[in-house]
Amino acid sequence: MLHLVRHSPHSDSRFASCLRSLGAGQHLVLLEDAVYALLPGTGQAQSLGLLPASVRIHAIESDMLGRGLTLDALPSRIQVIGYEQLVELCVAHEKVISW
């Protein structure tokens, strides 16, 4: 299953709800304002680090750069992708949930 989160993790409970629903082997894509969850030292970044290792975490590069986030401080488990790879992930997964 593929989970897409696009809203700021600071605006409402969608980010936390998504993390609670993630299962082993599922994929999470952070796009648009959801990339703010990757800010070092935040509770959201810590929560991402506590997800099971089998959960794949992706972040859209252009959304990160457009919001002033740097790529060099990311944890190694975060895979930076472009919108082309996002489309590939959507096609590869039978179920896609948008938060």
CATH number of the CATH domain containing 22: 3.40.1260.10
With 90 as the cut, is the pLDDT of residue 38 above it?
Answer: yes
Confidence of residue 94 (pLDDT cuts 50, 70, 90): very high
Per-residue confidence (pLDDT) for residue 89, from 0 to 100: 98
Mean pLDDT score across all residues of the chain: 96
- Report yes or no: 55 and 27 within 8 Å, Cβ to Cβ: yes
Mean predicted confidence (pLDDT) in 79-83: 98
Mean predicted confidence (pLDDT) in 8-28: 95
Per-residue confidence (pLDDT) for residue 72, from 0 to 100: 87
Structural domains of the chain, count = 1
With 90 as the cut, is the pLDDT of residue 77 above it?
Answer: yes
Position 20, amino acid: R
Distance CA 65, CA 83 (A): 13
The length of the chain in residues reads: 99
Task: Note down the domain range covering 24.
Answer: 2-98
Per-residue confidence (pLDDT) for residue 87, from 0 to 100: 98
Distance CA 60, CA 46 (A): 19
- Report yes or no: 34 and 14 within 8 Å, Cβ to Cβ: no
